[in-house]
Amino acid sequence: MTYSIIGCDTETGEIGIGVQSRWFHAGQDVAWIEPGVGAVCTQAFVEPSYGPGGLELLRDGRAPADALAELTAADAGRDVRQVAIADLAGRFAQHTGARCVAAAGHVAGQSCCAQGNMLASDRCWGAMVAAFESSRGPLADRLLAALDAAEREGGDARGRQAARLLVRPTQPTGAPWSDRIVDLGVVDHPQPLAELRRLLVLHRAYDRLSRALDHAGAGDLDAAADEIDAAAALAPDDDQVAFWRSSILAGVGRPGDAVAAFHQAVRAHPGWPDYLRSCVEAGLLPAEALGLAQAPPA
């Protein structure tokens, strides 16, 4: 009921999974990654326990092929399962059960493996590997390019509904929240890949917004202005980005841009002036920021 790809980026030290399916919220059970261990995709008539079970076996030192053999041997439903396991040494193991609904199959490349079932064409999994290996840029974009390639070959024979994009570092940082490089899901949408791409852009915009606020909190307003301008370029219509951009730009001597950004935010959501006053009262913004609400729009 799904097509998916596990991909590695040896330059950045990242490992990721991309998934699309005509099944509500499919990605939550399909995609499993643990930094320092590896990745698992479990699909078709999905058995979610293959995810944590496969990672546990990798953690215990099993090679992907051995882990997969152990899992399928213990599963009476293995003929309707499709599973892929990857470790951090770049080894892949894949299983497509004999009773998986056609088109169903899998293939591994140099730095990725792709698998699919209930698909419109047996070209889908090969197209995913080819697209991933020929694309450049961040790992998340390469995974999306692979999913797009499968969709061009017909994708899920039943249509489309859900998608997920998951990227982790191959080695843990020691702070689990920092290991969530990308973790985006579309649970129900007529065009899940387009929605996933939109969310990825917004994710990047909010990463820049967070860095801007960190710089501002540390007193480096010039760096904050650079980051917030980058966030606005990625998400020009986002009123929250516009609100914080107004307060940061007001502090770096760009009053015209600051007022314009503030009024952009208010046009989208009339509650921003009240929030501005609350931020001033809480000491998050200086009293001078209240001038943003009093200045006429440009």
pLDDT averaged over every residue in the chain: 96
Residues with Cβ within 8 Å of 278's Cβ and at least 6 positions away in sequence, in order, are none
Do residue 99 and residue 144 come from a single domain?
Answer: yes
Residue 155 sits in the same domain as residue 27 = yes
Tell me the mean pLDDT in the region 198-213. 98
15 phi and psi angles, rounded to 5 deg: -130, 140
* pLDDT, tens digit, 9 for 90 and up, residues 21-35: 999 999 899 999 999
Looking at the chain, the whole-number percentage of residues with pLDDT higher than 70 is: 100
Residue 224 CA, distance from chain mean position: 25
Do 160 and 191 contact (CB within 8 A), yes or no? Answer: yes
Could you tell me if 80 and 97 are in contact, meaning their C-beta atoms sit under 8 angstroms apart?
Answer: yes
Q: List the domain range (segments joined by +) for residue 128.
A: 2-188
Residues 163 and 222 in one domain: no
Question: 223 and 176 in one domain?
Answer: no
- Number of neighbouring beta carbons within 10 Å of residue 75: 18
Scan for tokens 């890949």, then name that residue: 193
d(CA 266, CA 247) in angstroms, rounded, equals: 13
Q: Judge contact between 116 and 100, C-beta under 8 A.
A: no
- 212 in any annotated domain: yes
pLDDT tens for residues 136-166?
999 999 999 999 999 999 999 999 999 999 9
Residues whose CB is less than 8 angstroms from the CB of residue 210 and which lie 6 or more positions away in sequence, other chains included: none
CB 81 within 8 A of CB 44: yes
For the segment 227-260, what is each residue's pLDDT rounded down to a tens digit? Answer: 999 999 999 999 999 999 999 999 999 999 999 9
Check: CB of residue 38 under 8 Å from CB of residue 17. no
| Segment 277-295 mean pLDDT | 92
Residues 152 and 221 in one domain: no
pLDDT of 86 > 80? The answer is yes
Q: For residue 298, what pLDDT is reported?
A: 66
- Cβ-contact 64, 58 below 8 angstroms: yes
For residue 45, tell me if it sits in a domain.
Answer: yes
Q: What is the mean pLDDT of residues 179-192?
A: 97
Q: How many domains does the chain have?
A: 2
Q: For residue 103, say if its preceding peptide bond is cis, omega within 30 degrees of 0.
A: yes
pTM: predicted TM-score of the whole model, two decimal places: 0.95
Q: Residue 67 forms beta bridges with which residues? A: none
Structure confidence at residue 296 as a pLDDT band (50, 70, 90)? confident
Residues 25 and 126 in one domain: yes
Q: Residue 159: exposed, middle, or buried by beta-carbon count in 10 A (0-12, 13-18, 19+)?
A: exposed
Residues 255 and 176 occupy one common structural domain: no
159 and 230 assigned to the same domain: no
Do 251 and 277 lie in one domain? The reply is: yes
pLDDT digits 0-9 by tens, 126-135: 999 999 999 9
| CA separation for the pair 163, 200 (Å, rounded) | 12
Q: Give me the percent of the chain exceeding a pLDDT of 90.
A: 96
Q: Within a domain: residue 129?
A: yes
Q: What is d(CA 186, CA 164) in angstroms, rounded to the nearest whole number?
A: 6
Residue 294 has pLDDT above 90, yes or no: no
**Residues 85 and 64: beta-carbon distance below 8 Å:** yes
**Can you give the pLDDT at residue 128?**
98
Instruction: Report if residue 266 sits inside a domain.
Output: yes
Query: What are 284's two structure tokens?
Result: 């998050």
